[in-house]
């Protein structure tokens, strides 16, 4: 699974937005410039984020966007889901009892990929916008068994 551009840009913009004072309204052009994302693409993303209850907006002069909740209460997984990105690793339909094979059986690696998808979701659900803003050790929790020794 590769996280799509929409989800990555949504997280980038939300982390940027979390850096502003809670009540300050920020324009999409300001966020776009700071994160090097086009305004039209951010408009699509923020429409979904607003519908998902993650941001609030005010129209007109002086308007813009602000977080709908404190940064510590918004999980990265919430952002990914709000922009309709899937975290599933299998090619099976998650709402079906049948598998992805032509015979409707589950493939031999189904449980492996399903478990990986669950781990990714759990990780993204454990990280808040505030965590990312503070850089609180995210991504530095790699076990020694996964490190490649120097030659």
| pLDDT of the residue at 60 | 86
User: Element (H or E) spanning 116, and its range?
Assistant: helix 110-126
The CATH code of domain 5-140 reads 1.10.10.10
Q: Which band of pLDDT confidence, cut at 50, 70 and 90, is reported for residue 142?
A: very low
**Could you give the percent of the chain with pLDDT greater than 70?**
79
Per-residue pLDDT, averaged over 17-44, amounts to 93
Give the distance, in angstroms, between the CA of residue 10 and the centroid of all CA atoms in the same chain: 7
**Angle at alpha carbon of residue 87, lines to 97 and 119, rounded to 5°:** 90
| pLDDT of the residue at 8 | 92
Q: Which one, of 1, 4, 86, lies nearest residue 41 by Cα?
A: 4
Mean pLDDT taken over the chain: 83
Per-residue pLDDT, averaged over 27-48, amounts to 94
Residue 77: burial class (beta carbons within 10 Å; 0-12, 13-18, 19+):
middle
Q: What's the rounded Cα separation, in Å, for the pair 132 and 136?
A: 7
Q: Where along the chain do its domains lie?
A: 5-140
**117 contact partners, CB below 8 Å, separation of at least 6:** 1, 87, 88, 89, 90
More confident site: 110 or 124: 124
**Could you give the percent of the chain with pLDDT greater than 90?**
51
What tens digit of pLDDT does each residue of 71-93 get?
999 999 999 999 977 666 666 66
Integer CA distances (angstroms), 49 to 67, 139, 147, in order? 10, 25, 36
With 0.95 as the threshold, say if the pTM is over it.
no
3-class DSSP assignment, residue 92: coil
Give the distance, in angstroms, between the CA of residue 137 and the centroid of all CA atoms in the same chain: 18
3-class DSSP assignment, residue 84: coil
Least confident of 73-77, 88-92, 117-121, 141-145: 141-145
More confident site: 92 or 29: 29
Per-residue pLDDT, averaged over 11-33, amounts to 92
Tokens of 117: 């998808």
């Amino acid at each position: 699974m590769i996280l799509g551009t929409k989800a990555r840009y949504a997280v980038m913009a939300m982390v940027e937005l979390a850096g502003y004072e809670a009540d300050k309204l920020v324009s999409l052009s300001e966020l776009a410039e700071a994160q090097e994302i086009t305004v039209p693409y951010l408009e699509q993303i923020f429409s979904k984020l607003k519908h998902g209850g993650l941001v609030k907006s005010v129209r007109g002069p002086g308007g813009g966007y602000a977080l709908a909740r404190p940064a510590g209460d918004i999980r990265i997984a919430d952002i990914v889901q709000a922009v309709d990105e899937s975290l599933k690793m299998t090619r099976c339909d998650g709402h079906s009892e049948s598998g992805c094979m032509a015979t409707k059986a589950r493939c031999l690696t189904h449980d492996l990929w399903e478990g990986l998808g669950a781990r990714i979701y759990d990780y993204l659900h454990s990280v808040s916008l505030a965590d990312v803003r503070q850089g609180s050790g995210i991504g530095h929790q790699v076990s020694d068994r996964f490190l490649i020794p120097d030659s």
